[in-house]
Amino acid sequence: MMVPLDSSKKISFQRQICDGDLVIVYERHDIMKAVKVRSGSELQNRFGVFKHSDWIGKPFGSKVLSSKGGFVYLLAPTPELWTLVLSHRTQILYIADISFVISYLEIVPGCVVLESGTGSGSLTTSLARAVAPSGHVFTFDFHEQRAASAREDFERNGLSGLITVNVRDIQGEGFPAEHSGSIDAAFLDLPQPWLAIPSAVRMLKQDGVLCSFSPCVEQVQRTCSTLRSNFTDIRTFEVLLRTYEVRESKRADTTVEEEEEEGAAIGPPPQKRRQCSSTGLNPCSAERSSSVTAKPCATARGHTGYLTFARLGLREDQNAKTE
| Residue 119, pLDDT above cutoff 80 | yes
Query: In this predicted structure, what is the pLDDT of residue 197?
Result: 98
Query: Quick check: bond before 305 cis, omega within 30?
Result: no
pLDDT confidence band for 187 (50 / 70 / 90): very high
What's the rounded Cα separation, in Å, for the pair 51 and 240?
40
- Give Cβ neighbours of residue 177 (< 8 Å, ≥ 6 apart): 202
Q: What is the mean pLDDT of residues 195-213?
A: 97
List binding-site positions for S-adenosyl-L-methionine. 120-123, 141, 169, 189
Cα 294 from Cα 95, distance rounded (Å) = 21
- The predicted pLDDT at position 294 comes to 87
Distance between CA atoms of 82 and 122, rounded to whole angstroms? 7
Q: Are 184 and 102 in contact (CB under 8 A)?
A: no
- Cβ atoms of 306 and 220 within 8 Å: the answer is yes
Q: Compute the distance between CA of residue 145 and CA of residue 151 in angstroms, rounded to an integer.
A: 10
pLDDT at 315 over 70: no
CB neighbours of 101 closer than 8 A, spacing ≥ 6?
93, 123, 187, 211, 213, 307
Per-residue pLDDT, 242: 85
Provide the CB-side half-sphere exposure for 168 (13 A, CA).
17
In the chain, CATH 3.10.330.20 sits at 16-77
Higher pLDDT, 128 or 294: 128
Answer yes or no: are the C-beta atoms of 201 and 180 closer than 8 Å.
no
CA distances from 236 to 51, 182, 223 (A): 49, 25, 10
Residue 195 sits at φ, ψ, to 5 deg, of -70, -25
Asked if 209 and 104 touch (Cβ cutoff 8 Å), the reply is yes
pLDDT at 320 over 50: no
Question: pLDDT, tens digit, for every residue of 212-236?
Answer: 999 999 999 999 999 999 999 999 9
The CATH number corresponding to 82-240+302-312 among 3.10.20.90, 3.40.50.150, 1.20.120.420, 3.30.70.100 equals 3.40.50.150
pLDDT value of position 252? 58
Mean pLDDT lowest among 93-102, 103-112, 248-257, 296-305: 248-257
pLDDT in tens, 11-59: 554 689 999 999 999 998 889 999 999 999 999 999 999 999 999 999 9
- The confidence band for 67, taking pLDDT boundaries of 50, 70 and 90, is confident
Say which CATH architecture domain 16-77 belongs to. Roll (3.10)
Beta strands in the chain (DSSP E): 22-28, 31-36, 42-45, 48-51, 62-65, 71-75, 112-116, 136-141, 163-167, 183-188, 204-214, 231-237, 244-252, 288-296, 306-312
- Residue 183 to residue 113: CA distance in whole angstroms: 6
Residue range(s) occupied by CATH 3.40.50.150 in the chain:
82-240+302-312
- Residue 45 CB burial class (10 angstroms; 0-12, 13-18, ≥19): middle
- pLDDT digits over 82-111, tens only? 999 998 888 889 999 999 999 999 999 999
Which of these, 31, 45, 4, 160, lies nearest to 85 by C-alpha position? 31
Distance CA 103, CA 106 (A): 5
Q: Tell me if the pTM is above 0.85.
A: no
CA distance 24 to 80: 11
CA-based nearest residue to 196, from 216, 215, 222 = 222
Binding site per annotation, positions? 120-123, 141, 169, 189
Lowest mean pLDDT among 191-195, 203-207, 230-234, 277-281: 277-281
Mean pLDDT, the chain, integer: 85
**CB-count burial class (<10 Å; 0-12, 13-18, 19+) for 56:** middle
**Residues 308, 306: Cα–Cα separation, whole Å:** 6
